[in-house]
Amino acid sequence: MTSTPNKSPSTQIAIFGGGCFWCLEAVFQRTTGVTKVLSGYMGGHLANPSYEAVCGKQTGHAEVVLVEYRPDQIGYAALLDIFFTIHDPTTPNRQGNDVGPQYRSMVFATSASQCELAGRKLGELQSAGVRAVTELVDVTGEDWRVALDQITRDSDSTTVRTVRPEVVFWPAEADHHSYFNRNPGQGYCLFVVAPKVIKAQQSFPAMVKD
């Protein structure tokens, strides 16, 4: 049973999409101040999507990670720095050899301050000549947690139908969680995920968990 992030008064939630969620998950799991990471789907038009449907480009979702973090240990701006370092925000619907809308660059801001900081970061990138195509989606005030709080992936609950599916975070299937940790020798993990983990640790050594 996968433990789902449940924001407490001492933690906040960030949501990022930038290529395969195995990569982002592995990086943020090793980041100081991050307490939980959960892979999932967001930004699509159908409820309760499956991995096969998302990869088949049937739902419009992006692969994302939900990052629970302690702002007294790491700020949202630092998470943004890591995110934009470990993926290419300039290629629409693509990360390396992974091609498709599910791999597009996205930031889902869960608060007004996150939206402001993400917008500022994108502005800085543009000023530096980085033509980022990252989609910034403000879900402040939206019931994006409904799939975590009220239904399970095998439920027939219709609760979510009262919420716009595109703003809901849908947890991925259990076999995608902690994928790199469980499959370090798998080919994709060796040649795609591991280099991103190393890049993050070399770029932000002070933010690597002990």
The DSSP symbol for 183 reads -
Phi-psi region of 105 (alpha: psi -120 to 50; beta: other; left: phi over 0): beta
Residue 20 is a catalytic residue: yes
Q: Which two tokens stand for residue 130?
A: 């980085």
Question: What is the spatial distance between Cα 159 and Cα 127, in angstroms, rounded to a whole number?
Answer: 43
- Which element (helix H / strand E) includes 95? strand 94-95
Q: Which amino acid is at 200?
A: A
Q: Cα–Cα distance between 191 and 61 in angstroms, integer?
A: 25
Catalytic annotation, pick one of 20, 23, 115, 189: 20
- 167 by Cβ neighbours in 10 Å (0-12 / 13-18 / 19+) ranks as middle
Write out the DSSP string of 127-155: HTT----PEEEE-TTS-TTHHHHT--TT-
Catalytically active residues are 20
